Amino acid sequence: MTTVEPPGANEPLDELDFRLLAGVRELWEDADPMPATLVEQIRFAIALEDVDLEVMRIREQEGLAVTRSAAEQGRLITFDSESLTIMVNVSPEAAGTMRLDGWLTPPAEHPIEVRTANGPLTTTSDAEGRFAVNGVAHGMVQVLVRTLGRSRTVSTPAIEL
């Protein structure tokens, strides 16, 4: 395939090129803006003492479109990584807070920490891998599984509930 080089293709970038690049950046920022809360969410997620993390991915969310930022109704989120799957059901409580019901696969007793905007809530999963945490405030939530017998902490991404 022969391509015809446009004039100037091989020259070093000049002032106009840099203005064009700045303009392209501005236009993409306008046309496809980053969510306003994304940086805040990431900062919350990485404010961890642990650095040796196994990071989970969000595999599926039910009711995503309706309840992405508010858990008015029950919502089921599945996270997974190489070694672990966590299903978390989020349900509203009368006090305006939320209850998280979790289920680890493979099932095992592990210390669980639910990080919230108001500080951490801790519990332990039972032999079936189940755990529950009450009184979770709306806002950023991140679940850490401090797996016994291994140095790595398993972490979900922070999600806005």
Partner 1 sequence: MNVAKTDHSRVAALFDAAREGDRAALDELVSLLTPLLWQVARDQGLDADQAGDVVQTTWLRLLGSFAEIRSPVALTGWLITVTKREAWRTGEKRQVERPLPELPERLTEAAPAPEEGVLREDQRVRLWRAVDNLPERCRSLLRIVAFVHRPDYAEVGARLGMPRGSIGPTRGRCLARLREQLLANGEGDWL
Interface residue list for partner 1 (CB under 8 A): 5-11, 13, 16-17, 20-32, 34-35, 38-39, 41-43, 45-48, 50-53, 55, 57-58, 64, 68, 155, 157-158
Q: How far apart are CA 72 and CA 66, in angstroms?
A: 9
154 CB-side CA count, 13 A: 20
Q: How far is the CB of 95 from partner 1 (least distance, A)?
A: 28
10 Å Cβ neighbour count for 27? 10
Q: How far is the CB of 41 from partner 1 (least distance, A)?
A: 6
Q: Output 117 or 124, the one with its CB closest to partner 1.
A: 117
Q: Output 27 or 70, the one with its CB closest to partner 1.
A: 27
